[in-house]
Amino acid sequence: MPQPVPTHVVLNDGDPAGVAVLVANPFGRTSVGLVLFAHIGRYLQHPGEIFKTRIKQMPEVAEVARESALAQMRMIGSFISGRRFIAGKRYTIAGITAMVALGLGAVVGLTVDSGLANLTRSYEEVSARAERPA
């Protein structure tokens, strides 16, 4: 069985500095994007007008989801330092999911911090690929 790799971040509530803790996942890197997507989705649900009549919206949940999404972006950015892709030597479902999550994030105002050079590079590279004719 392959070694677990860090795939998501848990905000350490007991730390006043808000330090994030990497959590190992035995399922591999695929969940990197899924975790980011979940955080961004939660952020979208709680202040989003479309969900107003569907769920009990809580501003505190939106804020925790926002902070978690930003922490996940930082973790992915540092994880791909020196790499072209999240998993392996080619674009995989791990990268696809992460890039879709980043696209959704941009729609709801959770954009990649310009200081995250690796993640910005990866997102721009994949976005450019999507614009090429088939």
The CA-based diameter of the chain, rounded to the nearest angstrom, is 50
- Residue 122: CATH number of its domain: 1.20.1050.10
Q: How many domains does the chain have?
A: 1
Q: Is 103 exposed, middle or buried (0-12, 13-18, 19+ CB in 10 A)?
A: middle
Model confidence at 101, pLDDT cuts 50, 70, 90, reads very high
Model confidence at 77, pLDDT cuts 50, 70, 90, reads confident
Domain of 30 in residue numbering reads as 5-130
Model confidence at 28, pLDDT cuts 50, 70, 90, reads low
